[in-house]
């Protein structure tokens, strides 16, 4: 269980680093997909960063994705080495996914995006958008993920047990 919490802390820290570093490196259209609709409209003509910055952004994204997958593999491997069965592995994955989602909602969405308006420094054309004060801008996507997590965790636990046999 300690490995699961350590991986969760690691992925949250890495995600925070990613959210803070990636805006000036990302392709504008790709980055804007994560912002509310009125902000996407206001910033649709925002210029892309130079090519070398975008390449660095793609490399950082790949490293983050590999670290995320590696963390999930580590959680599963540790559970198998600890002799956990399906339900305990399922619980570890639930803890990881819901823990990360709480971090994502409270820290990244509510604090960084809404309260601190961090992305306003990269997209000043969104200054007058009403979504800067909308605390529920991503509610439907977050709700879909929260509903899907138990099914994803069950599948991952089943695969972990199957691979471990």
**Residue ranges of the domains in the chain?**
2-164
Other residues' Cβ atoms within 10 Å of the Cβ of residue 157: 23
Alpha helix locations (H) across 28-118?
A: 28-32, 37-42, 51-81, 86-103
Percent of the chain topping pLDDT 90: 54
* pLDDT at 133 exceeding the cut of 90: no
Contact 8, 95 (CB under 8 A): yes
* pLDDT at 29 exceeding the cut of 90: no
* pLDDT at 112 exceeding the cut of 90: no
* pLDDT at 74 exceeding the cut of 90: yes
**Backbone phi and psi for residue 6, each to the nearest 5 degrees, phi listed first:** -65, -40
Q: Which residues contact 70 (CB under 8 A, 6 or more apart)?
A: none
Q: What is the pLDDT of residue 23?
A: 84
Q: What is the mean pLDDT of residues 122-137?
A: 80
Contact 114, 133 (CB under 8 A): yes
């Amino acid at each position: 269980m300690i490995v699961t919490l350590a991986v969760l802390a690691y992925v949250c820290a890495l995600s925070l680093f990613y959210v803070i570093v990636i805006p000036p490196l990302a392709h504008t259209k790709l980055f804007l997909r994560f912002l509310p609709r009125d902000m996407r409209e206001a910033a649709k003509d925002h210029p892309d960063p130079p090519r070398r910055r975008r390449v660095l952004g793609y490399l950082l994204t790949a490293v983050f994705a590999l670290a995320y997958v590696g963390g999930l593999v580590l959680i599963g491997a540790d559970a198998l080495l600890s002799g956990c069965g399906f339900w305990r592995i399922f619980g570890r994955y639930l803890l990881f996914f819901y823990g990360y989602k709480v971090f994502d909602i409270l820290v990244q969405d509510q604090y960084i995006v809404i309260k601190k308006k961090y992305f306003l420094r990269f997209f000043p054309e969104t200054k007058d958008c009403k979504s800067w004060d909308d605390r529920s801008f991503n509610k439907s996507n977050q709700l879909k993920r929260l509903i899907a997590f138990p099914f994803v965790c069950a599948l991952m636990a089943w695969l972990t047990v199957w691979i471990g046999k």
